[in-house]
Amino acid sequence: MIKQISIVLAFVFLATVVHTQEKAIIAGMRISKTTKIRRGVYKIDAPADTAKSVVIIEGNDIVVDFNNAELKGSSKKINPDEFFGIAVVILNSKNVTIRNLKARGYKVALLAKNVERLTIDNCDLSYNYRQHLNSTQEKEDISDWMSYHHNEKDEWLRYGAALYLEDCNWAIIANCRVTGGQNALMMTRCNNGKIYNNDFSFNSGIGIGLYRCNNNEISYNKVIFNVRGYSHGVYNRGQDSAGILVYEQSSNNIFYKNNVTHGGDGFFLWAGQTTMDSGQGGCNDNMIRANDFSYAPTNGIEVTFSRNSIVDNRVFECDHGIWGGYSYETTISDNKFRNNNVDIAIEQGQRNNITYNISFKSKKAIQLWARNEQPADWGYAKMRDTRSRGYAIAFNSFNYCDIVFTLSHTDSLSIFSNTYNENKQLYKKDSTVTNLDLERNGELDKTLSSDTTASLLLVAKPNDPFKGTGKYAGRKNIRITEWGPYDFRSPVIWNTNPTDTSDIMQFDLLGPKGKWKIRSSRGVENISALNGEFPATITAQKKKADRTDIFIELEYTGAAITTPFGEGIAAGKPYKFSFKKFFQPINWEVEWFSFDTALVQHDALSKEQYVISENPRPFKTEKTNKLEYAWWGGIKADRQYLQFKTVAEGSAEFPDGLYELSVTWDDRVRVYVDGKLVIDEWDESKYNFDESPNKKVRLALGGTHHFKVEHMELGGFATLSLKIRKVE
């Protein structure tokens, strides 16, 4: 008996010692040796200074097991666009392993710089920073477009990331999860890595991003619904979101058996500014094999100014299956295309082989062309031969397509040994197509029939990233909320006819298994049902009014759910969700004036001392009830005005309440309310990125108010959009 008691006491003592060896997380914690973290929830805000973080790891040959401890930041912030700081930083180290970390509420969850052989395993870095989107179901807002063209000085960090790696060679990222953020994994100058068995889904920006990254193997990842800029049946823009982004001299990477459906682009590859300026290099010799890039609002696969291999992928229901502008010596083989506007579209392509693909029920199967002249500011076009020429198109199967070949300004095509079934039109071409050879070429036949099997990576226990995702098939399942794509984990009421001008609104009620009931409503009547089970469809009639002020609040009870902000709601606990739509018409009178910056100094222009055209009167006037403008290459009136000033004034009557005024602009804007300057953005030099900015202010309004907006465009793309919404 005494012996048994001694053994028990020994185990208790050992357990106590082990527990005391576990470290609790404290702000500014530094780790330089193998450490196990004490499990728990640590609510610690990160320093606003991004040179610092909650935890700093630096050392060689260490393992940090976070033991499923959860770091929560930005404690006084509610909305994800307010999240700040970095949870964990790893610097200047070798052979570091991070396991079982959870971090949410930060601008960046984990950042690693100059770490060789970093392993990140089984971490959940969901619900970190993401932008508040300004586009609606009815209308795109240009400010939601992102720009990833440069990252020499970590410009990508302005969008935040769950995982951000810089100069980390031989990294392994496996079994990690990121959802409910903007960007999942972003990598810069990282070579020879392996990224596999991860779930980076339902984010509003990028799933996996590469910049100057080479020889990486990316496989068996689920990277679905990384998307923005889409409203089903209204617009499909994508706004530079993508499942996989490959930029700027990223070559010899393998992308194998990834599920990348419902991305803004599925796969977005661009050679980079270096190639555009010099004509040299590119994102070359990447193997894109056995992936699914279906249901992209824009391109399933976009590969430009480069040489790559695209084999055995599935690309259904995209605008373009493959957009291959300026691709050369590229292999497009054994892919399956269905229901795309264009399966394969290549402008200025050269020496590309298109073989063994299957096209089914697409509007155009293959479209090849060249423009009449190249942009004058492209170094690429000055350094390279950019004619559209030298195609081999053989052994493909074309079925039920509207047009199989759409060809213009293209030379030297060899098209043979394809099969055609029930297509409406075989060729649409003109006299600019030269040297079209339809005879079988024995030598080319032998070359194109060679085995395309490549040496692919091996993963010991690969996940099946395609399992269970068939239920999401179709672009119709992309529903972009103000915080990103709807993720099917909580109930939603979704307006299915947002641009219908009738007074009947149609709604889908979607969500996990459960019941719903309407608690209250405003601005609608004659609701077709007040309660029911999911899924359901209801209608409601708009009340006649000059102002649109619609609010429908519902309550859900049923299975356990996870809210769009990552909060868990237990089964049976009531959960409120709602639909709201507000539009206050303002009787705007808009005038446009021309000026010429060549006649004045820039600093004088900023002081309003610009030179108006010879006629000081506006060259254009308009009356409207809303400001929603976008101009590409100036305004056309009696002539094309590339530089102009916009002045809009109007009044409206508001019910008492709190409102948010939001303005998107390019290049300058000022907004006045009742003569008071509330937004002053007259210095365009503050915005150095290729984006149109947006700014919001909250105002207490009630009664009649007067608004004035001044906008100036200095040349190039221009936009002006002002929205006012009611803050519930």
Tell me the pLDDT band of 595, cut-offs 50, 70 and 90: confident
Tell me the pLDDT band of 687, cut-offs 50, 70 and 90: confident
- Flag whether pLDDT at 239 surpasses 80: yes
pLDDT at residue 633, rounded to an integer: 87
Condensed to tens digits (0 to 9), the pLDDT of residues 515-552 reads 999 999 999 999 999 999 999 999 999 999 999 999 99
598 part of a folded domain: yes
- 573 and 686 fall within a common domain: no
Reduced to 3 states, what is the DSSP secondary structure of residue 112?
strand
pLDDT at residue 205, rounded to an integer: 98
- 232 and 300 fall within a common domain: yes
- 329 and 435 fall within a common domain: yes
* Owning domain of residue 315: 223-374+383-450
Spatial CB neighbours of 387, under 8 Å, sequence gap ≥ 6 = 348, 350, 370, 411
**Residue after which a domain boundary falls, among 554, 583, 612:** 583
**Residue after which a domain boundary falls, among 450, 469, 503:** 450
Q: Could you tell me which of 67, 56, 65, 71 has the C-alpha nearest to residue 115?
A: 56
What value does the mean pLDDT of the chain take? Answer: 92
- 301 and 431 fall within a common domain: yes
Report, as an integer, the average pLDDT of 215-219: 97
195 part of a folded domain: no
- 667 and 606 fall within a common domain: yes
- Flag whether pLDDT at 14 surpasses 50: no
Residues of the chain with pLDDT > 70: what percent?
93
pLDDT at residue 18, rounded to an integer: 45
Tell me the pLDDT band of 51, cut-offs 50, 70 and 90: confident
Going by their DSSP bridges, the two strands 644-666 and 588-594 should be labelled as antiparallel
**Residue after which a domain boundary falls, among 520, 553, 583:** 583
Condensed to tens digits (0 to 9), the pLDDT of residues 171-193 reads 999 999 999 999 999 999 999 99
Q: How many angstroms separate the Cα of 351 from the Cα of each of 311, 390, 400, 425?
A: 17, 4, 27, 25
For the full predicted model, state whether its pTM sits above 0.85. Answer: yes
Q: Which residues of 559-594 are buried (b: 16+ CB within 10 A; e: fewer)?
A: eebbbbebeebeeeeebebbbebbbbebebebebbb
- 327 and 259 fall within a common domain: yes
- 352 and 227 fall within a common domain: yes
Spatial CB neighbours of 49, under 8 Å, sequence gap ≥ 6 = none
- 502 and 394 fall within a common domain: no
Residues of the chain with pLDDT > 90: what percent?
85
Tell me the pLDDT band of 94, cut-offs 50, 70 and 90: very high
- 284 and 430 fall within a common domain: yes
- What the block records as the tokens of 81 is 């666009």
- 428 and 318 fall within a common domain: yes
Query: What domain count does the chain have?
Result: 3
Q: How many angstroms separate the Cα of 227 from the Cα of each of 444, 480, 485, 693?
A: 40, 8, 7, 20
Reduced to 3 states, what is the DSSP secondary structure of residue 6?
helix
* CB < 8 Å & 24+ apart, contacts of 541-547: 541/503, 541/504, 541/505, 542/503, 542/504, 542/505, 544/503, 546/585, 547/583, 547/584, 547/585
Phi, psi (deg, nearest 5) at residue 598 = -65, -15
53 part of a folded domain: no
56 part of a folded domain: no
pLDDT at residue 456, rounded to an integer: 65
91 part of a folded domain: no
User: Which residues in 138-182 belong to E strands, given as ranges?
Assistant: 161-166, 172-174, 177-178
DSSP state at residue 8: H
Query: Higher-confidence residue: 6 or 673?
Result: 673
Condensed to tens digits (0 to 9), the pLDDT of residues 345-396 reads 999 999 999 999 999 999 999 999 999 888 888 899 889 999 999 999 999 9
Report, as an integer, the average pLDDT of 630-652: 93
- Specify the CATH number for the domain of residue 262: 2.160.20.10
293 part of a folded domain: yes
Report, as an integer, the average pLDDT of 650-655: 96
Quote the CA–CA distance of 96 and 90 in Å, as a whole number.
Answer: 9
Amino acid at 676: K
Beta bridge partners of 172: 119, 194
- Flag whether pLDDT at 404 surpasses 70: yes
Going by their DSSP bridges, the two strands 265-270 and 299-304 should be labelled as parallel
